[in-house]
Structure 1
Amino acid sequence: MSDTLSPEALQQIQRLDLRARMVVRGFLQGLHSSPFHGFSVQFSEHRRYNRGDDPKLIDWLAYAKTDKYFIKRFEAETNLMGYLVIDLSKSMGFTESQSMTKFEYVTCLAAALTYLMLMQQDPVGLLTFDEKLHAALPARSRRGHLGDVIAHLSKLQPTGTTNVPAALTQVAAMLKQHSLVMLFSDLWPQGNLKAGDDSWQQQIDQIISSLARLRHAGHDVIVFHVLDAAEVEFPYDGPVQFTDSETGETVSVDASGFRADYLQALSEFRDAYREGCNRLQIDYVPLDTSMPFDTALREYLQQRQGRF
């Protein structure tokens, strides 16, 4: 199933709404042959029975089908307010080894998550940011809202510089109701990637602090950390000149000699976010543009299941 949900396969489909439907339908079909079997039907209507719950609330029909104890969730529990928060920085438009840019990958993933959430009747909204936050679409659960989100996503272009901490701080101040915040970004700080670089670590710490504000405000958070496959694999040899798409800064390196240092720095870069998110009980999902979309959707469902 993953082959049909790969960026290469979906690149042949031009319409974003059709891409989203293919991703979700293919993913839900795959659930039936996975450890999530049965979960695709029940996750929006039930939660697991927990010690202390009233046994009178057990859904015995669900028990007969699954041999597990579930209780029916009330409507107030069922609706999960979700917000897609998408990075519009120029670096998101980078691609080297794959047909999809990071931004195209993110918009396809965001559209699929919107489709999935609306199937569950969960309200979903869209926010974008560069150096500041841009309110795009309010959270709604009506069926026609998918078309609104798709239309808006289709018009977006990654053209700006970015300030992730400022944008997330604004999100935390803006959201009044308990929500699921889904951040889509490459999370690149400014400057060259060097292992142990203090400037980089300070910028990463600022981003982690802004995520902490969201958690302290009572929101659930998933960080979809999306990189290009070339940024992950570094498939370069010999002299190469790289240009920062946001600052225009250039740097020339001997790629062959630099590869080991780069990959070490990249590992430390991702680990810093992973460890920071783990401390805050935030789901951290490292992705690259060669990965099938079901990887990210599975993380979403796991997060939602764990929420109740």
Structure 2
Amino acid sequence: MNSEKVSIIIPVYNVEKYLAECLNSAISQDHGNIEIIAINDGSTDASLSILEEFQAKHDNMIVRSIRNQGLSVARNTGLEIATGDYILFLDSDDFIEKHTASTCLKHFRQHQTDIVFFSPNVFFDGVSEDVGRKFKSESITDLQNESCPAHLFFTKSINLKKYQVSACLYIYKKNKLGNIKFHPKTLYEDCLFTTRLLLENNNVKVTCIPDKLYNRRVRPESIMTQKKQEKHVLGYLIVAEELLKLKLTKEKSETGKALNHFIQVMLSNASTTYRIVYNHKLSHHIRKRLIILYSKTRPTLRTLKNIAPYIFPELLEIINLLKAFTVNKSTGGSKF
């Protein structure tokens, strides 16, 4: 069974502290046919030296250096090089279990599936658990050991509020899904890539397994924990705009409804992040853009009630003032 090759794609940028652990986890896989592709994305620390040292010792490791262009371009470069039957992404500050590839391949054969989804083990490195709690991930227990069409997997995951967007938690067949690439120079690229992976092909099957195969490190100054900037806002907006191009957003199906809901979440995140960056203000330009994009998600009257505070955050201030007034009045206090 070792004839089945797994390509592990590792984008690398200034992670000298964590890189050896990551590479060792890929090299130590108990499956015998592994191709490791490490893309050095213009690192300025010792990352390239570490990569070259590993490459000299392991014939199945490929190292390419490119100028710094971000995670998406690095992953796409790896996809262009990959010759494996299966694609697995691994971030260079994380690591995988020794049996990751072999476990997933067993399920590919057993279930005749196209994608295997597995669970992460999230741990904190230099970040307090209070700060990192929002990164804690739960497995989708309702779907464990189930094989189903990718559309249904996406819909159920959204409805259960357990949708995992990380591309590192899905291993997939390259020959069936190899045309999907990451949107370049965009944050939250996994939200777009994984959703497209699950929805663009009607004949794709997903198997969800309970195994915690991926060890995700939550650390200071990573993409997810760094201080929010305008680029984070733009990332959410680009994801929403790209997903709205999918035909499913115009369908009245359960999957279309789930997809539109996910896009609305992206837009709500954009609004919230913008107000964090710009001291609770929402510019006319961003407000207009949000209105246009929200209107394309087929919102219901009930949904509009939930959306309104993200477009007009001033409403929240009015609501809070009214609540304070009501509480004071009921307790016999002064108005304010």
Do both proteins adopt the same fold according to a TM-score greater than 0.5, normalized to the shorter chain? no
Structure of larger gyration radius: 2
Relative to the length of structure 2, the TM-score reads 0.26
Relative to the length of structure 1, the TM-score reads 0.28
